[in-house]
Amino acid sequence: METLSHQELTRLLLALGVMLLAARALGELARRLRQPAVVGEITAGILLGPTVLGALTPTWNAFLFPVHGGLPAALGGLTTLSIVLFLLVAGMEVDLSTIWKQGRTAIAVSASGLVFPFAVGFLSAWFAPSLLGMHRGADALVFALFFATALSITALPVIAKILMDMDLYRSDLGMLIVAAAVFDDLVGWIVFAVILGLVGGGVSGGIPIGTTVALTLGFAALVLTLGKWLVNRVLPWIQAHTSWPGGVLGFAVSIALVCAACTSWIGIHAIFGAFLFGIALGESEHLQERTRATLEHFVSFIFAPLFFASIGLRVNFLEHFDLLLVVVVLLVGTAGKTLGCWAGARYAGVTQREAWAIGFGMNARGAMEVILGLLALEAGIIDARMFVALVVLALVTSMTSGSLMQRLLGLGRTRAIRFADFLAPRSYLSPLRSTERRGCIQELVRAVCDEKVLQAAEVEREVWQREQIESTGLANGVAVPQARLEGLGRPRVAVGLSRSGVDFDCEDGELAHLIILVLTSTDDHRAQLEILSDIGRTFRRPEMVEKVLMVDTYTQFLATLKVNPPTGPHVTRRE
């Protein structure tokens, strides 16, 4: 077997390690900046690719990501596997009943979001081919058809990732966008297969286009009916007679790969097969939560970052950059898709705000656009300038649609508040020096008061007054002394641990070991409610208090909170 040399393997492992590290790190940074993680992951790829690292240290770039030999093939195989598995997980999360419920709207959005950009793209390419970077000698009709398709396509993986990152994936709006995107992408890929057939390229290896369409529809229908039924019958058998959870995991991944190979053979992209099988699998009542979680965690945090980082590796964005072309493609592309989807949504009776959110959501391109552009470049339909413009369109729309949707839907403001969001190292006291109620409150108040804005003595009086009205001791050794102050602004929280215990007149008569001071503004009723509710949910189980009492540092305290997420309903939970 002709395989990679020892030195190539070293480079592959290093490249994968660096890509994953950078993608995860920038993904986390993006989350901090309230962006979807995928934006950070794509950026990591651009930094590591020819655009930045390649320009700064060409030697290192060529060492890590060479363009010849076995390594690009190995990396390409891995990123394809990654995106296939990511679409399997995305499919598992699809709720078919929600899609049927959204049926009429989804059809309106996808049809309008397909026809409108297609028309805009076709007409502009037909009347201004040279402006749009038609390859010399390419057929004008083929070029116009390609450009129209490129503008109509979305990017199911990127859209799914953005919706997941924003915790919107399983919502009605999320399922509507996913359904419309699946439809648009399927049609887009079929049209693209036609175009490649016209120039004699043939992604589908000689399968006539009519057959591709028929096979696509047939395959989808088969997987979603017979396949779904079979999966539901087979899962209990696998769980009963093979090792757990290995049996189900191996089954899910191997069948997803075979389905991906099927759609790839049909001539549409491999991801559709994995996505369809994912839907069939996710619909089964016998799929265990634990199997779902194992697949989802591994795929979302290992495979997905690797794939999205690999997008940026593919081109040098500065070399073939044509500003005019980029601006034209960006404007035409964004206007066509956004307006098309918006119009469809409005027609189906969606509110103004949500219709715009749908438009911007559907506008996300990403991987699909890049793959389509790459194939068109290889088939001699477009030139390198147009390719870069398409890639820029893909990146810009992927990066902006998340935050535009977030702003339109006002998600920044409805996010659930957690008490740890308002903690700081200096407001974490372990152990508390005092052993009686008043002294503890004094210590905690001092930890959050800076004498300029907040007078400790005054705050302490308020907290003590509140404490007199009714004791703030809860169950499990937790107490939440609190006060609402005028004009406080952002809430302040301090945590104090007491191993010996303090009498806070707790519900169960025990001493309090974990004392959390909560100060909120008089005009922010919601903050106080949510913080207190979050504390209650977090420390509902007595083990949790015991765990927290055993930590040594502030960081370990935060880590313990994170790895033991609260259970039970929250006061204001967005669904």
CB closer to a copy of itself, 70 vs 129: 70
Nearest to a copy of itself of 84, 514 (CB atom): 84
Give the shortest CB-559-to-a copy of itself separation in angstroms: 4
Nearer to a copy of itself, 159 or 423 (CB): 423
328 burial class (0-12, 13-18, 19+ CB within 10 angstroms)? middle
Q: Whole-angstrom Cα distance, residue 386 to residue 381? A: 10
**Nearer residue to a copy of itself within complex by CB, 76 or 103:** 76
Tell me the closest approach of the beta carbon of residue 294 to a copy of itself, in angstroms.
5
Q: Are 360 and 399 in contact (CB under 8 A)?
A: no
Residues 6+ apart with CB under 8 A from 156: 87, 90, 178, 181, 182, 185, 271, 275, 368
Residue 188 C-beta: closest distance to a copy of itself, Å: 16
- Of the candidates 453, 423, 452, 391, the one whose C-alpha atom is nearest the C-alpha of residue 514 is 423
Q: Nearest approach, Cβ of 299 to a copy of itself (angstroms)?
A: 9
Give the CA count within 13 Å in the CB-facing half-sphere of 542: 6
Residue 172 beta carbon to a copy of itself: minimum distance, rounded to whole angstroms: 25
Smaller CB distance to a copy of itself: residue 68 or 452?
68
| Residue 346 host element (H or E) | helix 323-347
User: In this structure, are residues 75 and 65 in contact, taking their beta carbons and an 8 Å threshold?
Assistant: yes
* Shortest distance in whole angstroms from residue 342 CB to a copy of itself: 32
Residue with tokens 């990591």: 44
Instruction: Please report how close the Cβ of residue 155 comes to a copy of itself at its closest, in angstroms.
Output: 18
Residue 15 or 441: the one with the smaller Cβ distance to a copy of itself is 15
Nearest to 283 by CA among 98, 99, 102, 92: 92
- How many Cβ atoms sit within 10 Å of the Cβ of residue 321? 14
If phi > 0 it is left, if psi is from -120 to 50 it is alpha, else beta; for residue 501 that is left
Q: Min. distance of Cβ 272 from a copy of itself in angstroms?
A: 12
Nearer to a copy of itself by Cβ, of 342 and 557: the residue is 557
Question: Minimum distance between the CB of residue 494 and a copy of itself, rounded to whole angstroms?
Answer: 17
* Closest residue by Cα to residue 369 from 158, 117, 60, 58: 158
CB 282, CB 91: distance < 8 Å: yes
Tell me the closest approach of the beta carbon of residue 462 to a copy of itself, in angstroms: 31
Which is closer to a copy of itself, CB of 314 or CB of 513? 314
Q: How far is the CB of 447 from a copy of itself (least distance, A)?
A: 19
Question: CB-wise, 202 or 501, nearer to a copy of itself?
Answer: 202
127/237 with CB nearer a copy of itself = 237
Q: Which of 379-383's residues contact partners 24+ apart within 8 Å by CB, and which partners? A: 379/196, 379/199, 379/201, 380/135, 380/137, 380/138, 380/199, 381/135, 381/138, 381/142, 381/143, 381/146, 381/195, 381/199, 382/133, 382/134, 382/135, 382/138, 382/143, 382/146, 383/133, 383/134, 383/135, 383/136
Q: State in angstroms the smallest separation of the CB of 127 from a copy of itself.
A: 32
Beta carbons within 8 Å of 322's beta carbon, 6+ residues apart: 133, 385, 388, 389
At its nearest, how many Å lie between a copy of itself and the CB of residue 145?
A: 19
The distance of closest approach from Cβ of residue 386 to a copy of itself in the complex, given in angstroms and rounded to an integer, is 18
Which CB, 169 or 557, lies closer to a copy of itself? 557
Q: Which residue has the tokens 């079929």?
A: 190
| Cis omega (within 30 of 0) for bond into 431 | yes
* CB of 286 or CB of 570, closer to a copy of itself: 286
Question: H helices within 351-496, ranges in order?
Answer: 352-362, 367-378, 384-409, 411-414, 437-448, 456-469
Q: SS3 for 210?
A: helix
Strands (E), 50-121: none
Nearer to a copy of itself, 12 or 173 (CB): 12
In angstroms, the CA 377 to CA 367 distance is 15
SS3 147: helix
Residue (381 or 463) nearer to a copy of itself, CB? 381
Report the SS3 class of residue 484: strand
Sequential DSSP letters for 276-303: HHHHHHHT-TT--HHHHHHHHHHIIIII
